[in-house]
Amino acid sequence: MSNRPLALSLLAGLLVLSACHTRQPNEPLGDSPAATHYSSLLQMQELNHGMTLCRIQNPWQPDRVVMQYLLVPEADSARLSEDELDRLEAQYGGAQTLYTPLRQQTLTSACYAYLYDQLQAVDCIGAMCDTEYVLDSAVCSDLRRGRIADAGSSMSPNAEVVLCSGSDAIWVTPYETGSQSVIAASLPHVPIIYCADYLENAPLGRAEWMRFFGRLVGKGTEADSLFHVIEHNYLTLAQDTVTGEHLSLLCELPYGATWYVPGGRSTMSWLYQDAGFHYLWQEDTHSGSLGLSQEAVYERGADADVWLIKYYAPQGDWQLADVLSLNKMYADLGPCRKGRVYGCNTARSDYYEVTPFRPDWMLAEMRHMHQGEDEKLRFFKRLSPTIPQ
């Protein structure tokens, strides 16, 4: 296991939100049962009358925030005057008041839909983007029946569909290109939920965002309970000594001439190390992806033990022959010679839906893979060396 602190490091991820102004908080958040412990970008504090203040940090300028939400339970809102709400919003440097639970929301990623299924809050999804990637059975059923509307692409949601669905918020993933500004302009009266969870570095840091998302739909207690289970599972696995040698790990497939791999300070790098692998780029200091030449990857991966790949093949799962057909040079890589190439067919596997908020399951998957317990794998399969007839 790595000698760094297990999932407790809170290094900031890369975040550029060009469509919104950063704000200087007037008052730091205090400790409360809602406080986060692993997230580097999300802070929460319980206030009087059941309210919760949620702050999303700007890691480029740690003393600033990109958004603050004042979550006010509808049941308690009658006891609060407009003047009191104005005072609270100003006290913390500006905050957007949201009355919870939010009844209908437009979600822009399948992983959030799966999370809401886990929290038994699917009824709070009014519209869904990128529906072709949704595999969750409950959400797929509601999409087929028309109960959940198809809002098109997450990069440019159909504003008419969002409005007709009665959505009282739309979830937006902040990208460096600032695409969220286009969404904000097309839906000026719909509150935006900034989902910067994917920019977290610690696996438990991203999963901890479920506590914020749960509070949006009145499922804060359920989200806290689920997170505590995930936290316990993850830390127990990560602290368990790995038996045998630490296998070296290569991952991903090239995209064109560039081979993108997780940086050494990324969530996946930390997870691989917690699983007992020697990740080939774990000494790197980047939190995002590294764009490498295929030659550089070949050189480092020549003697690797395991190769982890993800691919999209609706027609069926790949075998090792399918990987080798992409490039004959792959046959020289250590994992191909040793027969330890593992593939995840994302057209059939719910990997992208499940693992962002269940890092404990992904860590267990990697532990099974390290120990050669292929029969226990859920997301990946060892690719058969048999050539299809």
Q: What is the pLDDT of residues 72-96, one digit of tens each?
A: 998 877 777 888 888 887 888 888 9
The model's confidence at residue 386, banded by pLDDT at 50, 70 and 90, is low
The model's confidence at residue 179, banded by pLDDT at 50, 70 and 90, is low
pLDDT over 90 (residue 322):
yes
Distance CA 192, CA 206 (A): 19
What integer pLDDT is reported at residue 389 of this predicted model? Answer: 41
**314 or 185: which leads in pLDDT:** 314
Distance CA 367, CA 274 (A): 9
Mean of pLDDT values over 161-177: 85
Instruction: Report the predicted TM-score, pTM, of the whole model to 2 decimal places.
Output: 0.88
Domains of the chain (ranges, CATH numbers): 42-102+168-233 (no CATH), 245-382 (3.40.50.1980)
Nearest to 287 by CA among 2, 1, 5, 9: 9
The model's confidence at residue 5, banded by pLDDT at 50, 70 and 90, is very low
What integer pLDDT is reported at residue 180 of this predicted model? Answer: 61
Q: What is the pLDDT of residues 59-68, one digit of tens each?
A: 666 677 889 9
Mean pLDDT of the chain: 87
What integer pLDDT is reported at residue 242 of this predicted model? Answer: 80
Q: Can you list the alpha helix ranges (DSSP code H) found in the chain?
A: 74-77, 82-91, 110-118, 137-145, 159-164, 180-186, 203-207, 210-216, 220-239, 267-274, 294-301, 320-324, 334-338, 351-354, 359-370
**Mode of pairing for the β-strands spanning 381-382 and 341-345:** antiparallel
Q: What is the pLDDT of residues 297-320, one digit of tens each?
A: 999 999 999 999 999 999 999 999
- Give the C-alpha distances (Å, rounded to integers) separating 377 from 52, 203, 248, 367: 39, 19, 19, 10
pLDDT over 60 (residue 328):
yes
Mean of pLDDT values over 257-261: 95
What integer pLDDT is reported at residue 213 of this predicted model? Answer: 98
What integer pLDDT is reported at residue 10 of this predicted model? Answer: 27
Angle, helices 220-239 vs 267-274, to 10°: value is: 50
pLDDT over 60 (residue 210):
yes
Strand partners, 282: none
